A and B are shown apart, each in its own frame.
Chain A
């Protein structure tokens, strides 16, 4: 019974909808009659309560969504001007309205698109053409310091969630006629706009084409964040390591553009995508460039050591204490065995338990409000740590090693890559727990092979180390003094270009230097 009822209802609804759609203009033309046009618009967007239709004069109607438009501009620029004169035609409106961004359209679909984006539709009786004044405004976050990628020396500005703002920041950094901005709209339900930015002449044409193609080929319903886009367009989304950089730092973004990479900014997302990005570049921070070069070099080397500590310290502990006691020198074995004497678990269990605790702390710290966050640090770090040792559940040495590796993993200047590094330790730990150093090396080999198999936008992932681009080596390992940085990284360079990043005479990056 109920089922049948439901069916009936459904058919009723579909019939209604059919009727509605029948009323709509099929060929996307705009009705010349005021009333009909308003009716069409209302039908199409299901008469929302924030839809406002104003009668200006007998002939002119304006339609907009109230929360999306700038009220001041609407009042002072549009209403005042329109009321001050009679006999308007769309043409005169288009010419005389003091609005910087306007469009005249005779396409119904465009009207719908624009009104949803915050345009004001101005319809004149008797004309099948509509003037769209784009006075869209919506509240955005003000530009604050990037919280996830903070740095001490350097600019303290981060992207926010608005596409126009983000593009304008990039334009402010790079005032260059060659800065290309290609707009796309993707997502059937969300119609999210995004911008592909690159510098013509520096970025490789092939890569631009690849990215453009990949974006255009996307057939998705919704796109909320740039991270999703990155996952959709990267070479291998099944890999544990990210192949595209997600950054909220405009300076890092612009750095990428200037060295020939491509950037994508997505509306509604404060993380911009930079591609192609190689594995080692994830561990370089923009701050390295801002520090004096010996210090920058030191920090960079420190970070490279940190990766190894982060990945291998705990597994080394596990492997050594499970199988290879004989590797530990005699003076060290006494404190080690003392601290482990009352621990009831095998080292791999002990390490997994504590590492999981640290991960829990990290996750809790990330989810909790900032005010409570500090408590978590105290509860987790001090209470759990010391209590676990006192209770004999874990050894002191492990706590030290784990704290060290946790610290090391947080030195990664990119949060996404830092997460990958943290997660990849768990399988290695298990390998080490089962098969000692042999398992450790096996895991290392598998990771090495895995990294070798990856590519970022077709460019090798382990560049510049493999394939070896000897000329890029110095600046990848250490931070060279600026005058010595001569060429654009080969990973993104076009074959024939010989772009100098900088020369002594004060030339800009990307300028061709005569040799």
Chain B
């Protein structure tokens, strides 16, 4: 049972990098257009929903770290096996593998949709999928250190976003924000719930935790990472609210990209085309870590070699891209994913912690007697 996979010191990474991993795994495709769904619920108080959703995220991370601290060197897959026994544990692991494969696909499919809509109407979707998949596989075969490195550099392709969004502020109507708290609390909470799609990604902490060098400090950096994402999302949300009218915002699918298209630099127009392409770097850690997490699980359940796993994964994703074609299907998929993600990311960690804690204390009691 206790086949804890040994992690060599070489693979472990500095605790401060947790910050980058958390942030870059959160920022993905959701940020392109999360404003619409939230505004539909929370109107001009959408920004409060954003803050609220991050409050939940902080709580979730708190419980995640507590659970992980109970086991120290184990990741979630190992915890599952330890907690539920071999068979039920495998079932749970399987759910997580499926979740990560699904998350990978959601990110990939949404990005392809954005590229095809905004940049290259003519480019084959299958082709974009293959190139991205091959790039991710190239990174994946480089080992865990490479993945962390990608997350690190990817962070620097995120930080320019707020600066670019100063431009739309020129046309801001700050009275869009008032009256504050005009929406009832239920709608704001509902708005926070719709943030799920955009906010998830930080649950990767469950899997990178054993790789961290000084685990005690990990919690601090995880929270800091969440905070950085919060600031980014909050800023984008506020800019969207003051720039768009309420009706406009409810109808704009990719509000962030529309905001980019307002930017006019002396030597570049249509900045959004460039930003969408740069988004590839921002997505890369998402894809890499999701694939890696799925592989970790798969290699635990069946002794699968990386090459076999990658081939199967590649084929499934490619077929998926060919199957999910219309905008309607993508929306449907996103909704389904966020419902599922809500349970896995926000509710399950809490339950898991309680379960793990009770089991531990019972064990201790038995030992003491």
Binding site for B on A (CB under 8 A): 323-324, 326-330, 332, 435-438, 440-442, 444-446, 448-450, 452-453, 460, 462, 465-468
Contacts and interface: CB of A to CB of B under 8 A. Distances in A.
A248 B309 CA distance: 48
Interface residues of B, number: 36
Contacts of A327: 268-270, 273-274
B286 to A, nearest CB: 13
A453 B143 CA distance: 8
Given A436-B119, A452-B145, A452-B149, A442 B280 contact: yes
Contacts of A436: 119-120, 277
A437 B281 contact: no
B166 interface: no
Contacts of A450: 138
A462 B146 CA distance: 11
B174 interface: no
24 contacts: A323-B120, A327-B270, A328-B269, A329-B266, A332-B267, A436-B277, A437-B119, A438-B119, A438-B280, A440-B277, A445-B135, A445-B280, A445-B284, A446-B135, A446-B138, A449-B142, A452-B139, A452-B142, A453-B142, A460-B145, A462-B149, A466-B153, A467-B14, A467-B148
Nearest to A448: B153
The B interface is mostly helix, strand or loop, or mixed, namely helix
Given A326-B269, A448-B153, A468-B152, 7 more contacts: A329-B266, A435-B131, A438-B120, A441-B280, A442-B131, A446-B135, A466-B149
Contacts of B281: 441, 444-445, 448
Contact of A329 (B139, B143, B268): B268
Contacts of A323: 120
Q: Chain B CB within 10 Å — which of A452, A465, A467 has the most?
A: A452
B187 interface: no
Contacts of A438: 115, 119-120, 123, 128, 277, 280
The A interface is mostly helix, strand or loop, or mixed, namely helix
Nearest to B154: A448
Contacts of A437: 119, 273-274, 277
B121 to A, nearest CB: 11
A453 B138 CA distance: 10
A438 B267 CA distance: 20
B139 A468 contact: no
A449 B270 contact: no
Contacts of B269: 326-330
Contacts of B139: 449, 452
A445 B280 CA distance: 8
Given A441-B281, A462-B149, A466-B153, A449 B135 contact: yes
Interface string B166-209: 00000000000000000000000000000000000000000000
Interface in B245-272: 264, 266-270
Contact of B17 (A330, A435, A445, A467): A467
Given A323-B120, A437-B274, A468 B14 contact: yes
Interface in B1-56: 13-14, 16-17
B264 to A, nearest CB: 8
Given A327-B274, A446-B138, A435 B120 contact: yes
A438 B123 CA distance: 10
Contacts of B273: 324, 326-327, 437
B101 interface: no
Interface in B119-142: 119-120, 123, 128, 131-132, 135, 138-139, 142
A468 B16 contact: yes
Given A324-B270, A326-B269, A329-B268, A468 B119 contact: no
Contact of A448 (B16, B119, B150): B150
B322 interface: no
A448 to B, nearest CB: 6
A381 B359 CA distance: 78
A449 B266 CA distance: 32
B324 interface: no
A456 to B, nearest CB: 14
B270 A326 contact: yes
B145 A468 contact: no
Nearest to B277: A437
A15 B119 CA distance: 78
A31 B311 CA distance: 69
A282 to B, nearest CB: 18
Contact of A449 (B13, B123, B132, B150): B150
A466 B152 contact: yes
Nearest to B10: A458
Contacts of A435: 120, 123, 131
A450 B119 CA distance: 26
Interface in B317-361: none
B157 to A, nearest CB: 10
A442 B143 CA distance: 20
B152 to A, nearest CB: 5
B362 interface: no
A450 B266 CA distance: 34
